[in-house]
Every structure is written in structure tokens, then in C-alpha cells.
């Protein structure tokens, strides 16, 4: 069967192997899934060169997915340390791994990541451009920016963040509407600086059709980056953010015309009461394309605990339309995360995603909780550990404080309500 992308296949009525795999995982009729892909409401990031991939769907009616950010930087450039994080992220069931490398042997790390990862792999080409060409930002040409994107596509990257919405018009809106924290997106700031230094249009916007041709060739999903995402709750839902979102909606339709799959990236920092309206705005302005959010972080005053501020916002966002959560670690705003930071970020995001899936009525989401509740009623500790989102931590806590009676814990002992209700209902005497 002849098709170029998952969207192209879906529109031709073709069910691909990736669609069948996702449908099985999601307990969804494959014909329903195919139709959602054809409409752009679900994506399956699946580069033709990523041979170790286990297909994952993102979008309407599917389980909320989580992404993990990794990669080498100038100050922390150990490829082996980042590969250890990759292996751990896979063990912890991350759905996607995004390589944000911006220094050193980025190609080596990217290729090793794609080679072993069953999870979808994402990148941000503009991060890599400065190191790849070993040139000053101002000297990089439009063609060279596109060349990095093509190199990533050849290497098997499944989705790429492209900040095409920060064009001259959006930049003008930003200048007219000053912000407390300006532009906090690394890619957005680089492209804004490039435009200012060269007095030129954003190359990813100016040559968007050429970029789409590359993505179509390899079936790379375009993740339209939010260069103007708010970096503080003060800047949320402002003119710059909404201006860029309008542009992203227009770029979404242009990508779909070429059968390129699209995700939309969103905030950022945002007060609780603004999250639901923002989900509605994105889905409306971007025509139902899957929404990929960083957080949102619901307060700015908790450095060291931003995995929590992010999980609070992520649960609300996903329950109200977001499809994909980018994890945030306790080290956010402070340093490159360690292995333990990464784990805490993944677990917090998975909790948020699962809580949202219960609210959305995703098939079998509640069953997991019901099974855990049954194990608790039966005081079946081993079953509880098996069902725990983090079995390792649950077992460790239990082992650290042993009760006098094995069917209780050291919080309540013989006064355990579950134990005593079981005895009463069985006709035995409690305590």
C-alpha cells in the first residue's frame, strides 16, 4: 500500500500497523482511530527510520501521554549520564523522550537514543543549529536551519518542535505589549534574536512549506512550538500568547494540506482559573489538533517543587482537553535534573495524566483504581505493590516501618478501620 504519512494513510482509508498497535493499547476501534487521525485530532509520531519504536497515539479519546526532556548541555555534557536517564525513563514508562541537546556530540546522543528507544523521540532543531554549524547565531542561514531539521529527520526523530509562530507579526505584538518575563522559550528567544540581528523573517515561517516537505518525506510530526508561552502567571493569556496561537492555527491547516501530522504546544505558567479557558481556546483556534502542555505551572514561588506545581496544572489541563504533558522536575529553573529528579518528574506527570484520564472517562482508567481499592480492602500488600504507580517506593516505605500485626501498618495498628470492618463483617471480634 502506498502512503507517505500516517495522516495520508488514514485519509486513504488505509489502516497501518501503527494504527493497529495503538488501537489495541487504547481499547479503541481501529476505524474510529483512523478517522481521528484523518481529521488531525490524533497523531502517531512514527518516523520511518525509527525501527525500535512501539507506536503511541496522542490526542482525542486516548490516554493522556507524558514526555521526558533529556540531553547534553555545555555545563553537563556527559552522554553516558544522559543515556542512563534514557534507560530509566523507558523503565518508568515515559511515552516520549525529547532530546534537548544543545552542545557537543549531539548527533551521537540522538542516534543512540533513537536506536534503543521504544518511546517516540522528539527534538528542537534550532537548539542544535549553533553547535552543529559551530557558528554565531547571526551567521546561520535559513537553509542551514532547515538542514538541521532534515538531519534530525534522517536520524529517525519522530516529532520536532518548530517555533514557526514567532514571525515578524508576532514579534511586533510582543514589542507593543511588554511582559514581566519577556520570552522564556529557549527556541523562541533564539529565533527572535536571529530575526532582530538579521532584520529577516523567521526562517521556519518563511520556508514553512519546504520544512513540511521534509517532514512529509520521513513522516515527522510537527510540534508547533509556543515561543510566546508565559514564563510567569503574570504573562499568561496575554496578547503575545494569543497572537502566536492564532498563527499556529493557520500553520496547522497548512501542514494538514500536505498530510503532515500536527501537535500544538502550550503554556507554561498559568493561574488555575485560566487553564480551562486556555484549553478551549487552543482546541478552537487550532481545529482540534492534539495539545501538548508544559505544566502548566500554577504558581511561580515553589522552586524545588515545580514537579508539584506542574502536576496540579497538568491534571486540570488534561481533564479539560490537553492530550500530552511535558514533565517538569524539581530542578526546573535551577539546574539540569539528576536521575532522581527525573524520576520524581515522571511520577508526578503520570499521576496527573492518570487523574485526568479518570475525569475524561478513558477506557479502563478507573479499573486500575478499583483494583487497588480491592487490594486495600483485602489488606493484600503484595497486590497493592504490584498495582502501585511506583512499586519501588511503596515497598520501601512498607519495609522501613514494620507493624506488630502483619495485616496492618504502623499508622493504626490494631485500630485499622479496614481490618476491623473486615472482622465485623465476617462475624469475628475486632481488636
Cell numbers for 13, please give them: 482509508
Residue 226, annotated ligand binder?
A: yes
- Partnered with residue 162 across adjacent β-strands are 224
The backbone torsions φ and ψ at residue 359, rounded to the nearest 5 degrees and listed phi first, read -65, -35
Number of H helices, E strands in the chain: 19, 10
What residues have CB less than 8 Å from 370, skipping those under 6 apart? none
Going by C-alpha positions, the residue among 118, 125, 110 that lies closest to residue 70 is 110
Residue 377, annotated ligand binder?
A: no
Hunting for cell 486513504 — which residue is that? 12
Residue 228, annotated ligand binder?
A: yes
Residue 111, annotated ligand binder?
A: no
Cell numbers for 320, please give them: 479539560
Three-class DSSP category at 288: coil
Pairing mode, strands 42-43 and 58-59: antiparallel
Distance CA 112, CA 343 (A): 21
Residue 10, annotated ligand binder?
A: no
Residue 163, annotated ligand binder?
A: yes
Residue 364, annotated ligand binder?
A: no
Cell numbers for 4, please give them: 507517505
Residue 56, annotated ligand binder?
A: no
Residue 98, annotated ligand binder?
A: yes
Residue 333, annotated ligand binder?
A: yes
Distance CA 325, CA 328 (A): 9
**Binding site feature residues for [4Fe-4S] cluster:** 409, 412, 416
**Binding site feature residues for substrate:** 69, 98, 127, 163, 185-187, 226-229, 265, 292
**Binding site feature residues:** 69, 98, 127, 163, 185-187, 226-229, 265, 269, 292, 333, 409, 412, 416
**Binding site feature residues for Zn(2+):** 269, 333
Amino acid at each position: 500500500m502506498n502512503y507517505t504519512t500516517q495522516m495520508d494513510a488514514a485519509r486513504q482509508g488505509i489502516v497501518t500497523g501503527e494504527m493497529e498497535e495503538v488501537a489495541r493499547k487504547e481499547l479503541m476501534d481501529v476505524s474510529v482511530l483512523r478517522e481521528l487521525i484523518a481529521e488531525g485530532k490524533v497523531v502517531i509520531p512514527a518516523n520511518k527510520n525509527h525501527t525500535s519504536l512501539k507506536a503511541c497515539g496522542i490526542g482525542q479519546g486516548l490516554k493522556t501521554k507524558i514526555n521526558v526532556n533529556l540531553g547534553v548541555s555545555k555545563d553537563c555534557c556527559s552522554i553516558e549520564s544522559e543515556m542512563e536517564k534514557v534507560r530509566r525513563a523507558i523503565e518508568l514508562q515515559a511515552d516520549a523522550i525529547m532530546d534537548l541537546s544543545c552542545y557537543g556530540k549531539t548527533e551521537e546522543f540522538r542516534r543512540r537514543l533513537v536506536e534503543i528507544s521504544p518511546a517516540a523521540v522528539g527534538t528542537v532543531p534550532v537548539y542544535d543549529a549553533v553547535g552543529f554549524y559551530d557558528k554565531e547565531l547571526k551567521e546561520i542561514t535559513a537553509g542551514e536551519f532547515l538542514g538541521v531539521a532534515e538531519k534530525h529527520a534522517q536520524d529517525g526523530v519522530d516529532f520536532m518542535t518548530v517555533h514557526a509562530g514567532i514571525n515578524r507579526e508576532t514579534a511586533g505584538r510582543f514589542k507593543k505589549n511588554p511582559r514581566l518575563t519577556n520570552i522564556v522559550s529557549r527556541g523562541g528567544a533564539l529565533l527572535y534574536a536571529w530575526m532582530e540581528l538579521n532584520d529577516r523573517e523567521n526562517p521556519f515561517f518563511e520556508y514553512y512549506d519546504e520544512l513540511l516537505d521534509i517532514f512529509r518525506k520521513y513522516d515527522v510530526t510537527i510540534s508547533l512550538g509556543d515561543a510566546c508561552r508565559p514564563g510567569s502567571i503574570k504573562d499568561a493569556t496575554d496578547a503575545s500568547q494569543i497572537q502566536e496561537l492564532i498563527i499556529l492555527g493557520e500553520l496547522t491547516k497548512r501542514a494538514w494540506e500536505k498530510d503532515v501530522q500536527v501537535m500544538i504546544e502550550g503554556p507554561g505558567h498559568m493561574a488555575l482559573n485560566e487553564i480551562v479557558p486556555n484549553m478551549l481556546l487552543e482546541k478552537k483556534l487550532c481545529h482540534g489538533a492534539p495539545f501538548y502542555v508544559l505544566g502548566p505551572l500554577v504558581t511561580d514561588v515553589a522552586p524545588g517543587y515545580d514537579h508539584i506545581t506542574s502536576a496540579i496544572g497538568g491534571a486540570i489541563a488534561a481533564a479539560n482537553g490537553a492530550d500530552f504533558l511535558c514533565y517538569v522536575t524539581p530542578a526546573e529553573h535551577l539546574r539540569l535534573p539528576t536521575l532522581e529528579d527525573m524520576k520524581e518528574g515522571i511520577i508526578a506527570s503520570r499521576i496527573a495524566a492518570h487523574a485526568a484520564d479518570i475525569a475524561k472517562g478513558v477506557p479502563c482508567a478507573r479499573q486500575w483504581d478499583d483494583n487497588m481499592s480491592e487490594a486495600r480492602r483485602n489488606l493484600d500488600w503484595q497486590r497493592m505493590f504490584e498495582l502501585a504507580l511506583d512499586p519501588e517506593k511503596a515497598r520501601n516505605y512498607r519495609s522501613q516501618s514494620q507493624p506488630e500485626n502483619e495485616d496492618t501498618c504502623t499508622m493504626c495498628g490494631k485500630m485499622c478501620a479496614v481490618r476491623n470492618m473486615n472482622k465485623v463483617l465476617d462475624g469475628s471480634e475486632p481488636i
